[in-house]
Amino acid sequence: VTSLRSYGELYDQSVRDELAATIQDEAERLNRFVTNLLDMTRIEAGVLEPGMAMIDLGEIVGTVLERARKVLQNHRVVVDLAADLPMIRVDFVLFEQVLFNLLDNAAKYAPPGTAVTLRGRRQDDSVVIDILDEGGGIAPEHLAHIFEKFYRIRRADRQRAGTGLGLAICRGFVEAMGGSVTAANRSDRGGAVFTVDLPIPPVSLP
Ligand SMILES: Nc1ncnc2c1ncn2[C@@H]1O[C@H](COP(=O)(O)OP(=O)(O)OP(=O)(O)O)[C@@H](O)[C@H]1O
Ligand SMILES: [Mg+2]
């Protein structure tokens, strides 16, 4: 901002565009960071009051893919929602944030060009959402810890923007909505899979 304001006229248009794009990226990063900190604070203060409603998973998926378009731009996104999925009972905003954080990780920790898959299926009395990537997966000794706040596995992970709050927020939000979220490694190939399990509410609930 300082460069643009003080010396803007000395740069040609392409340099000015590049500076403006950097400002936008960093502002978005800062916004995500502050949002994460606030979300974590709300979870820990116990003041999270999810506004639960019956929602079509496809609608939330559409919204989150739109918001995550930039972070997923170097990956191939595969969406696979079973046709007979019942409505889920969630807080739209909180649940969209859960999916965003998981997609953000898939994009961040799996190499560009690989596929990020979002799968929705029914299993017994739950709707189960899996987010699968084709990265290096997660070593077994870390699996139990990655949902802790500020937990980041590799030194290299710390060079990428992030604070280690994304998954702690996912778990806090999902549990506040009566569901659960777990991490594992894929059995069909390399990569991580995060699974969100949402119990299907009895028909009488609004
Ligand atoms: N899909 C994944 N594949 C491999 N490792 C992962 C994956 N998702 C998360 N991790 C590991 O778990 C750690 C915690 O993830 P988390 O989302 O909580 O934090 P973060 O991505 O580092 O930062 P942010 O607060 O921006 O989300 C990551 O630093 C990374 O080491
Ligand atoms: Mg993250």
- Residue 151: enclosing H or E segment and its boundaries? none
Ligand 1: nearest atom to the Cα of 110 = 3
- Per DSSP, 146 falls in state T
> For residues 143 and 149, what is the distance between their CA atoms, to the nearest angstrom?
13
159 versus 188: the higher-pLDDT residue is: 188
> DSSP for 66-124?
HHTTTTTTTSEEEEEE-TTPPPEEE-HHHHHHHHHHHHHHHHHHS-TTSEEEEEEEEET
pTM given for the model: 0.91
Q: For position 25, what pLDDT does the model report?
A: 87
What percent of the chain stands above pLDDT 90? Answer: 74
pLDDT digits (tens, 9 = 90+) for 108-146: 999 999 999 999 999 999 999 999 999 999 999 999 999
pLDDT computed for residue 197 by the predictor? 98
Q: According to the model, what pLDDT value does residue 33 have? A: 87
How remote is the CA of residue 163 from the centroid of ligand 2, in Å? Answer: 8
Q: Rounded to an integer, what distance in angstroms lies between the CA atom of residue 143 and that of residue 185? A: 9
204 compared with 35, residue with greater pLDDT: 35
Give the pocket of ligand 1 (CB within 6 Å). 36, 101, 105-106, 108-109, 133, 135, 138, 146, 151-154, 157, 162-168, 192
Q: What is the pLDDT of residues 33-43, one digit of tens each?
A: 898 889 899 99
Mean confidence (pLDDT) of the chain: 92
How far from chain centre, in Å, is Cα 36?
11
pLDDT, mean of residues 149-163 = 75
- Which are the contacts of 96, defined by CB distance < 8 A and separation ≥ 6? 60, 63, 64, 67
